[in-house]
Amino acid sequence: MTSRVEETGSTFDESHDPESEPANGGKRVRRLDRVVIRFAGDSGDGMQLTGDRFTSETAGFGNDLSTLPNFPAEIRAPAGTLPGVSSFQLHFADHDILTPGDAPDVLVAMNPAALKANLADLPRGAEIIVNTDEFTKRALAKVGWQADPLDDGTLGEYRVHPVALTTLTVEALKETSLARKDAERAKNMFALGLLSWMYHRPTEGTETFLRAKFAKRPEIAEANVLAFRAGWNYGETTESFAVSYEVAPAARAFAPGRYRNISGNLALAYGLIAASKQSELPLFLGSYPITPASDILHELSKHKNFGVRTFQAEDEIAGIGAALGAAFGGALGVTTTSGPGIALKSETIGLAVSLELPLLVVDIQRGGPSTGLPTKTEQADLLQAMFGRNGEAPVPIVAPASPGECFTMALEAARIALAYRTPVFLLSDGYLANGSEPWRVPEVSELPDLRVAFATEPNAPDGSGGFWPYLRDPETLARPWAVPGTPGLEHRIGGIEKQDGTGNISYDPANHDHMVRTRQAKVDGVSVPELAVDDPGGDARLLVLGWGSTFGPIAAGVRRARAAGGKVAQAHLRYLNPFPPNLGEVLRRYDKVLVPEMNLGQLAMLLRARYLVDARSFTQVSGMPFKAAQLAAVISEALDD
């Protein structure tokens, strides 16, 4: 998934275009331009790991790809039940793709619950690989099936491959010392081996991975490698799999460079480390565990040799408090959380606004309100980020549009925070956090210079030789950052209103009015790039405008609409506060503006209020990303209107 609007010139549509080719030997090889595979099983079946490995193999092979992990909040929901089903969807192609795919071409179902939970998503003719060992009367009854769907015609419109995955795995491992129960646990690797054969995936990476993962238990490592190879060999030899598939590398989808696969949370963690390096400030993360943000805490805690301090606080409030304290001391202070955590941090964000210290507030949004849907995605924290504080407390907001962009936007958030001495929101979400895509590894020399100059000299304009902590830079309106330890610049700051310049407590009405407007002007004046519009014909009358993680589905929907002859322009906001300087002008250029969002129209509300534009909302708050087909239909409707 490449995510720059300007680069959507591919002629490929996100629909099937398979060509068949005769192959050597007994087995045929078909060439496909793209495939969507969904692995589904119990939460304990290792589906996320299986999906991750298939993704790594696919990334290494050079396909473009996009992934969608989908799992319950419960760690181990009761085995074999519908709520316990965990799945991982992967879309890979020989061309540039934008989404994890609307519907799977292939479903791997490890048990009846996994089949039942996912069946409705399968288009007619999809392939289903089922683990028949799990289709016992008891297991079927657990999900409310009286009869076995494998026999009763329920699956008549699909191509079903019944495989005794458990039996075959145990059989393959019978020479090992493993107990049957442990051997059974390797069945996900058998399934991975089989799929790897079906799609001609390279296998060395997975074997290396397994040996590293189970380095302390070599017998388990070898058993998993054995199961993985057995799955591959099963595909090669059994007659039930007559066809394998090739999806060529996506040579044209990528600009030259070195690539790796990356998830949003990993890219974000790397972006923070890069920001620390580029600013030459030590990184301090204050955080409290919360889904789906905890992976950033885990990742950063591994990199202490970069001078990264991670502090697992007693609560969300202490997490941001400690980050702000570290920022006062000259660190790059960061806190990471999700929506419920932001609610708790609001007061401290307000303090950071008042103190005018740099601080990064990372919100990996999830379904709300309250606990909501911890493992599902949503973008309903925009207005919370924008307004969720007492008083006039403006905070810049940035939002990455793809997993890889989480890296870039972390650097951008740091740039703004450091240059303007302000807290900055970065709004990611569960879809970006856990989804992954190929990412061009940037050269360190390409990264922005984020160095800041601490105040070192008294600055009082009254000639007293004193230090005025709120004497502003006339260009940015930023105040000086004088860190403790600097002689002669001792000063006190606080959340009480202060006199501009001196920073002394002030209850003066005119000063308060001035300070409120100055803090607003500072944020309004943050320099952000102009909004790029993708309008290939230059004559579209409809603009589709989104923000954050909806970029992929919107761009895919726009492509489909264009392929059907529709004239539609697309633009995507990465800067929500302040908005890009040309946004008003862009909006006025179009007769109609369509704003798809995974909330009830929060961006649309801001656009209507700010620009008096009749922006139309298209909203969905299901905890799942938009589908390309769904958006294509909405766009067509808007075009016909």
Partner 1 sequence: MTDIKPAGITANGALKLTAKDFKSDQEVRWCPGCGDYAILAAVQGFLPELGIPREKIVFISGIGCSSRFPYYLSTYGMHSIHGRAPAIATGLAASRPDLSVWVITGDGDALSIGGNHLIHALRRNVNLKILLFNNRIYGLTKGQYSPTSEPGKITKSTPMGSLDEPFRPLSLALGAEAGFVARTIDSDRQHLTSVLRAAAQHQGTALVEIYQNCNIFNDGAFEVLKDPATRDAALLRLEHGQPYRLAPDGEAIVHDVTDPDPTRAFALSRLTEPTPIGVLRAVARPAYDRQLNAQLEQAVTERGEGDLAALLSGSDTWMVR
The least CB distance from residue 235 to partner 1, in Å, is 24
Q: Is 311 in the site for partner 1 (CB under 8 A)?
A: yes
Q: How far lies 71's CA from each of 87, 135, 600, in Å?
A: 6, 22, 24
Q: Determine which helix (DSSP H) or strand (DSSP E) holds 630, and give its type and residue range.
A: helix 628-640
Asked if 100 and 68 count as a contact pair (C-beta separation under 8 A), the reply is yes
Asked if 212 and 250 count as a contact pair (C-beta separation under 8 A), the reply is no
CA–CA gap between residue 641 and residue 595 (Å, rounded)? 15
Q: Which of residues 581-640 bind partner 1 (CB under 8 A)?
A: none
Q: Is 459 in the site for partner 1 (CB under 8 A)?
A: no
CA–CA gap between residue 160 and residue 193 (Å, rounded)? 18
Q: Is 461 in the site for partner 1 (CB under 8 A)?
A: no
CA atoms within 13 A on the CB side of 197: 21
Instruction: For residue 375, give the nearest of 85, 127, 605 by alpha carbon.
Output: 85
**DSSP annotation of 209:** H
The only residue of 313, 342, 393, 531 in contact with partner 1, by rule CB under 8 A: 313
Asked if 407 and 414 count as a contact pair (C-beta separation under 8 A), the reply is no
Q: Is 408 in the site for partner 1 (CB under 8 A)?
A: no
Q: Is 330 in the site for partner 1 (CB under 8 A)?
A: yes
**DSSP annotation of 154:** T
Whether a cis peptide bond, with omega within 30° of 0, leads into 292 is yes
The only residue of 205, 458, 566, 601 in contact with partner 1, by rule CB under 8 A: 205
Q: Is 442 in the site for partner 1 (CB under 8 A)?
A: yes
Nearer to partner 1, 174 or 258 (CB): 258
First to last CA, the chain: 31
Q: Is 317 in the site for partner 1 (CB under 8 A)?
A: yes
Q: Is 460 in the site for partner 1 (CB under 8 A)?
A: no
CA–CA gap between residue 56 and residue 60 (Å, rounded)? 6
Q: Is 342 in the site for partner 1 (CB under 8 A)?
A: no
Q: Which of residues 92-151 bind partner 1 (CB under 8 A)?
A: none
The least CB distance from residue 340 to partner 1, in Å, is 16
Label the pairing between strands 592-597 and 542-547: parallel
The only residue of 26, 463, 487, 538 in contact with partner 1, by rule CB under 8 A: 487
Nearer to partner 1, 361 or 568 (CB): 361
In the block, tokens 């209103």 appear at 497
Q: 125 in helix, strand or coil?
A: coil
Nearer to partner 1, 454 or 564 (CB): 454
CA dihedral 48, 54, 60, 65 (to 10 degrees): -80
Helix 187-198 crosses helix 165-172 at what angle (to 10 degrees)? 100
Label the pairing between strands 575-577 and 397-398: antiparallel
- The contact pattern for partner 1, residues 157-196, with x = CB under 8 A and - = no contact, is ----------------------------------------
10 CB-near residues (< 8 Å, 6+ apart): 95, 96, 252, 253, 559
Q: Which of residues 47-76 bind partner 1 (CB under 8 A)?
A: 56, 59-60, 62
Instruction: For residue 4, give the nearest of 199, 222, 234, 254 by alpha carbon.
Output: 254
Q: Is 329 in the site for partner 1 (CB under 8 A)?
A: yes
- The contact pattern for partner 1, residues 7-46, with x = CB under 8 A and - = no contact, is ----------------------------------------
Q: Is 423 in the site for partner 1 (CB under 8 A)?
A: no
Q: 397 in helix, strand or coil?
A: strand
Q: Is 463 in the site for partner 1 (CB under 8 A)?
A: no
The only residue of 139, 324, 433, 583 in contact with partner 1, by rule CB under 8 A: 324
The least CB distance from residue 262 to partner 1, in Å, is 8
Q: Which of residues 344-363 bind partner 1 (CB under 8 A)?
A: 347-348, 350-351, 355
Q: Which stretch binds partner 1 (CB under 8 A): 9-17, 409-417, 483-491, 565-573?
A: 483-491
CA–CA gap between residue 90 and residue 37 (Å, rounded)? 5
Q: Is 388 in the site for partner 1 (CB under 8 A)?
A: no
CA–CA gap between residue 359 and residue 349 (Å, rounded)? 9
The only residue of 78, 144, 218, 494 in contact with partner 1, by rule CB under 8 A: 494
The least CB distance from residue 417 to partner 1, in Å, is 16
The only residue of 141, 215, 243, 505 in contact with partner 1, by rule CB under 8 A: 505
CA–CA gap between residue 187 and residue 234 (Å, rounded)? 13
The least CB distance from residue 552 to partner 1, in Å, is 20
Q: Is 305 in the site for partner 1 (CB under 8 A)?
A: yes
CB atoms within 10 A of CB 56: 18
- The contact pattern for partner 1, residues 235-274, with x = CB under 8 A and - = no contact, is ----------------x--xxxxxxxx--------x--xx
Structure tokens at 282: 């030590």
Structure tokens at 67: 């992934």
Q: Is 491 in the site for partner 1 (CB under 8 A)?
A: yes
Q: Is 414 in the site for partner 1 (CB under 8 A)?
A: no
- The contact pattern for partner 1, residues 278-297, with x = CB under 8 A and - = no contact, is ----x-x-x-----------
Provide the residue type at 102 as one letter: D
Q: Which stretch binds partner 1 (CB under 8 A): 65-73, 426-434, 440-448, 449-457?
A: 440-448
Nearer to partner 1, 234 or 284 (CB): 284
- The contact pattern for partner 1, residues 550-569, with x = CB under 8 A and - = no contact, is --------------------
